[in-house]
Amino acid sequence: MDCCGLLTLQKEPVPLKSIEVELEVRDHVATVVSTLNYENKEDKPLEAVFVFPLPGDAAVCHFSAQIGQTQIVAEVKEKQKAREEYDDALSSGQQAFLLEESDESPDIFSLRVGSLPPAESASIRLEYVTELAVQADDGLRFCLPGVLNPRYQPQGSEGAGVQVTSVPASLVPYSLSFSARVSSPRPISKVESNCSLDPLQYLNTDQTQATVKLAAGHKFDRDVELLIYYKDAHQPTAVVEAGQASAEPGSLMGDPVVMVSLYPEFPQSVMSSTASCGEFVFLVDRSGSMDCATNNTEQQETRISSAKDTLLLLLKSLPMGCYFNIYSFGSSYEHIFPKSVEYGEKTMEEALKKVEQMKADLGGTEILEPLKHIYSQPCIPTQPRQLFVFTDGEVGNTKEVIDLVKKNSGSHRCFSFGIGEGASSALINGMAKEGGGHAQFITGTDRMQPKVMQSLRFALQPAVEDVSVTWDLPKGSTVTVLSPPITTIFQGKRSLIYAQLTGQSSEAAEGCVTVKYSLAGHPSENQLHFSLRPAEDTGLIVHRLAARTLICLLEMEAENNEEKEEVKKKVVQLSVQSGVSSSFTAFIAVNKDNNKEIQGPLLHRDIPMAGLMGFAATPCCLRANISSFSPGLDYYCAMDDSEDYEVDYGNPLEFEDTSCYRALPDEEFPPAKKPPRDPLLQLVSLQKASGCWLLDPALAAALGKTNEEVEKSKPEKASSEVWATILALIWLHGFKMDAKDEWELLAAKAVSWLSAQKAPSVTECVEAGNILLGCSVQKTALGL
């Protein structure tokens, strides 16, 4: 293949041959063991560099290499020392292995395999533990990132960014095998995935243990996502784990650690009253990569079009009397209104017109500046600020962004949405965690709308205030809480607490933890009693997750602390003691048993990741200077005239040779045919801000009837708006119950409007509407 810049396609073999991943899930905690098998088929020694993603909150806790019969287990050391040790080993002809977290983003790691002699093989074993997030439908989500999209590094920001070699999924030159074992105190009802799986195999009759495997032939065009469903998922639990025998008593690793998982339940009376106030700020990514398809289905809906449809539903579902604004960003940012405005028919219509015109045409992904602008706006009294962020997460300055959200956490809640494969889990989860909101990922064939509406329901829930956590332990035992204080609680969402237990207590002793809070003025409490007897055979998972939690807190402190060096020392000390990676440390392994020095200069080989961006998947010109392109023109690759490859202007990747690109004038691109609009969105688009519908030909068309049929069927005493609104509600209940999550809030608004009308002919309207639309929806089902 003629290529002009992609090293790994220039007939040079890739030394990584296969990746084997074994996942063990115990309740809501996952242990992942990845084995990377390398082989040097070249005639010179080489150094292989692999940059890859991991879940953002993963605690990497083991790294070792097997060369022939020799196994070398890596140690955690301060990052600069580890790099120097690695370089010294290579320059003296020894084999060495270095694993380190990116300085800019905690979900990107680089693995250097140094001095692999000709015809030599090496197996690298990497282990990490992570908590599994609870989804809106109570599934636990595990994601093995298989895609690393280039991260946009804003101009002037610190750090050089992460250099990623991307290839199309079909050209990834190594294989992946993946197997999972799931066990829980509660039965496993099902395991789903966005990839093809072999059937779930239960290992016992009560279905509390099961195994599942990825079907052979996995294509690297998506992350591997597992959704695990348990029966009675919302049971609170506590696991006490004994300390490490070799560790010093009184240290984190030497003492027992408890992990408490709580699911607060709110009174139904409070849950039924959603807030009718708030300032809703929507921040939408319009960088070039948002023009990519949302998923791999044949419809090829783009990320930006899905975001626009979602904004329509959000704007129709907002309560009257709230405030709102919409920002969009790329290399620059725009806003629809200079400041948040009161929600009403006029402002809603103005916003929808602007949303309809949105395109993915604002260049790179610079999210920091619009966030700074939003936070600089004064908050509106009695209108709590709720920020919704939609992005495909290809951001290089992740830590700066999360830090900014944390600094402003007292003034708002942040709900974040990662769109498409390869979205940064560190960014999406980090913003929601520090902003006291909720994170969602939209991948595979997921629809964005139900997930976003779930978050809007959370945003409309009454805010929980005055949260306190108290512990009751036997005499002689004390507790040190390692987790950050709980500041937000949502109905049915898990709150995790890690705590170190010090002192002696009898084996039969019991502890108790109580969470108290105030909800809409009502005091509430949730209590959990647990045995202090340590669980058997947990492999220090809880200790490592607790260490990672504490490390993240200290790292954040180091960003904003004048005594940065002191805090950094604490992180390095904790990281070394616990064997868990941090941004200030790295894993280093040196093969000191190697008698033969490895001779000759090392060849450098970058291992490619699958990249899903439109042009990252073109097999030519991976590194060119993007500044040689002109804004506003579309380019295609002319190296291979059999196919046109488009490139997005403003993308962070550098291209080595732009000579193979030619600009195409706009008229050479025939306008794309617009797919017919989803009937649900068609109906929703006609609803007024107040909640009602108007009786007109557009409504009749959306209902699949003629205007004459709709007019003729109207009961005589009914007003046009009441009749139109009841028809819309019957249609939603009769034909779109499978999408109820998407329209439930706007239907509730319509019911409130109808109730306020005190219309005399509601029963007649429901009966006539059912006859006209061929439905049998009861009046009570409509909420009337």
In sequence order, what are the beta bridge partners of 334? 328
Sheet holding 224-230, edge to edge: 133-134, 140-144, 224-230, 188-193
What value does the mean pLDDT take over residues 768-777? 93
What's the pLDDT score for residue 321?
86
Q: Which of 50-59, 277-286, 354-363, 725-734 has the lowest mean pLDDT?
A: 50-59
Mean pLDDT across 71-85: 94
pLDDT of residue 674: 54
Distance CA 512, CA 670 (A): 68
Tell me the average pLDDT across 163-184: 82
**Token pair listed for 656:** 């080595």
Kindly report the number of other CB atoms within 10 A of residue 623's CB atom.
Answer: 16
For residue 389, what pLDDT band results from cuts at 50, 70 and 90? very high
Angstrom distance (rounded) from CA 154 to CA 425: 19
How far separated are the first and last CA of the chain, in Å rounded?
67
Instruction: Note the pLDDT of residue 634.
Output: 37
At 629-653, the pLDDT tens digits run: 434 333 333 333 333 333 333 333 3
Instruction: Look at residues 262, 239, 236 and name the one whose alpha carbon lies nearest to residue 488.
Output: 262
Reading the block at residue 357, the tokens are 């015109």
Q: What pLDDT, on the 0 to 100 scale, is given for residue 784? A: 85
Tokens of 243: 């300390």
Q: In sequence order, which ranges of 96-191 are alpha helices (DSSP H)?
A: none
- 158 vs 393: which has the higher pLDDT: 393
Strand 95-101 to 29-39 pairing: unpaired
pTM greater than 0.85 (yes/no): no
Q: Average pLDDT of 353-368? A: 88
Residue with tokens 């980090």: 430
Can you tell me the mean pLDDT for 8-19? Answer: 72
Cα separation, 612 vs 618, whole angstroms = 10
Containing 678, the helix (H) or strand (E) segment is: none
Query: Of residues 505 and 401, which shows the higher confidence score?
Result: 401
Taking the C-alpha atoms of residue 48 and residue 16, their distance in angstroms, rounded to an integer, is 8
HEC profile of 200-267: CEECCCCCCEEEEEECCCCCCCCCEEEEEEECCCCCCEEEEECCCCCCCCCCCCCCCEEEEEECCCCC
**Structural domains in the chain?**
7-151+162-232+582-591 (2.60.40.1730), 274-460 (3.40.50.410), 679-773 (no CATH)
Tell me the pLDDT tens digit for each residue of 224-262. Answer: 889 999 987 778 888 899 998 888 888 999 999 999 988
Higher pLDDT residue, 265 or 161? 265
Beta strand segments in 46-187, E: 46-53, 59-67, 70-73, 75-78, 95-101, 108-116, 121-131, 133-134, 140-144, 166-167, 175-183
Q: Is the pLDDT of residue 613 over 50?
A: no
Q: For residue 386, what pLDDT band results from cuts at 50, 70 and 90?
A: very high
**Rounded (5°) CA angle 762-763-767:** 115
- When pLDDT is cut at 50, 70 and 90, the band that residue 83 belongs to is very high
The set of residues, in sequence order, having a beta carbon less than 8 Å from that of 343 and lying 6+ positions away, is 318, 319, 320, 321, 322, 323, 324, 689
Burial, 363: exposed, middle or buried (Cβ in 10 Å; 0-12, 13-18, 19+)?
A: buried
**Could you give the strand order of the β-sheet that contains 522-531, starting from the edge strand earlier in sequence?**
464-472, 510-519, 522-531
Percent of the chain with pLDDT over 90: 42
For 642, the token pair is 């059999």
Q: pLDDT for 536-579, tens place per residue?
A: 767 899 999 999 999 988 888 877 667 788 889 999 999 999 99
Average pLDDT, the chain: 82
Distance CA 307, CA 391 (A): 9
pLDDT above 60 (res 657): no
pLDDT at 151: 62
pLDDT of residue 8: 44
Reported confidence tier of residue 444, pLDDT bands at 50, 70, 90 = low
Q: State what percent of residues in the chain have pLDDT above 70.
A: 83
Amino acid identity of 505?
Answer: S
